Amino acid sequence: MYPRNALMSTGVTCGPRVRARSKTRNRPASMTHEIAIGPHRITSLKPGMPILTLAPMAGISNWPFRLICAKMGAQMVGVEFINCNAILHKNPKTLQMMNFCDADIYRDTGMSLLAAQIYGNDIGRMVEGALVLEEKGAQIMDINFGCSVPKILRSDSGAAFLKDIDRMMNAVRSVAEAVSIPVIIKTRLGWDHDNISILEVVKRAADSGAHAVAVHARTVAQKFNGTADWSWIARAVEVSPVPIFGNGDVFTYEDAVRMVEETGCAGVMIARAARDNPYIFSGARIPTFTERVRLARDHLGMMVEYKGEKVGVMEMRKFFASYFKGFPNASHLRTDLVQVDTVTQAHRILDEWVTDSDRHSHDA
């Protein structure tokens, strides 16, 4: 475990102070360009840009997508969240998720930090699972206290920990004391609007050994509905001695910039918007149609390498549906691509659309 005093001596910037009840805030004098998480330093892609990270997403943030986002500029990338029981039972699908074949790439190139997220309901097993993930190459250990999926809540995992903050802190402390890599947590504002606990959580998490906290600005009861209340991120920044990553309702690069400006958070953790457009990590520029096609081809190749043609192509369908939003007649392209079964079919359809795009000058 890295002592919190050592973390604070590295000069972590948690963002300017804000008024406790303010919904918005003036632009900070200078945006945070570098933070420390244990021995690791995370810097923004370039001056003037916020620190952007990829959130762990089940079925999305496997190694091909993590590598794509790292190359686009994500400063930290999250592995799909992993059940500690499945780790210890050596579930085949979980073992594949734990194959951090991209970890050495990140370390060798310095592109991005690799954070492995764990969840469970038994603290002892969470510790055991975390130790396995560390051995597999994780550089950051992320504990999930934010998943609001009914199945996870029924198992007393994920956001269910928000019903018992003492239990949550016991989990943080136990994992932090067991592993030699920094621990971060991802959580929500509280169980519902009558039980907002985020300020207590961020203060106690730091004292329990967490090196950063990612805050999804919704309650468990909201799930992904309604509007994320960024004002609570700002309040968390006020009281937290460790970096706060904001999450929730970030759909564009401009949203990420606005979140940092309004809350003073150290960085932004991006989920669904990254799935739709990994270029979000590169800044505000909108990728051309040809660039999207190139991205789809590269991603398809890595997915087939990772999972074989049958499964790889099938799992690429959701990315095909996302990558081509917003282009003329793209609905027809998406309809064609989400039905492909082979790599050859996918490339043939993309070839036809590139030819048609060139002919009609859609790539502008």
Residues 311, 270 share a domain:
no
Question: Element (H or E) spanning 239, and its range?
Answer: helix 230-239
C-alpha 285: how far from chain center: 21
Residues 242, 334 share a domain:
no
- What is the share, in percent, of the chain residues with pLDDT greater than 90? 67
- Give me the mean pLDDT over the 319-333 stretch: 85
Say which amino acid occupies 334: R
Q: What is the CATH number of the domain that holds 310?
A: 1.10.1200
C-alpha to C-alpha distance for 244 and 237, rounded to whole angstroms: 6
Please report, for residues 21, 40, 191, the alpha-carbon distance to residue 220 in angstroms, rounded to integers and kept in the order given: 22, 31, 5
C-alpha to C-alpha distance for 185 and 143, rounded to whole angstroms: 5
Place of tokens 């460790």: 242
What would the pLDDT profile of 106-127 be if each residue is shown by its tens digit?
Answer: 555 556 889 999 999 999 999 9
Question: Which three-class secondary structure state does DSSP give residue 23?
Answer: coil
Round the CA-based radius of gyration of the chain to a whole number and report it. Answer: 20
C-beta of residue 61 within 8 angstroms of C-beta of residue 78:
yes
Domain total of the chain? 2
Length of the chain in residues, anyone? 364
> Which of 105-109, 186-190, 198-202, 282-286 shows the lowest per-residue confidence on average (mean pLDDT)?
105-109
Output 4 or 301, whichever has higher pLDDT: 301
- Give me the mean pLDDT over the 46-66 stretch: 92
Quote the domain boundaries for residue 334.
Answer: 289-360
Q: What is the CATH number of the domain that holds 99?
A: 3.20.20.70
Is 69 a known active-site residue?
no
Residues 214, 101 share a domain:
yes
> Which of 28-37, 125-134, 203-212 shows the lowest per-residue confidence on average (mean pLDDT)?
28-37
C-beta of residue 197 within 8 angstroms of C-beta of residue 190:
yes
C-beta of residue 246 within 8 angstroms of C-beta of residue 198:
no
Is the confidence at residue 277, as pLDDT, over 50?
A: yes
Residues near 26 by beta carbon (within 8 Å), at least 6 away in sequence: none
pLDDT of residue 48: 86
C-alpha 203: how far from chain center: 22
Among 14, 84, 147, 265, which one carries the catalytic annotation? 147
Residues 149, 54 share a domain:
yes
Residues 71, 130 share a domain:
yes
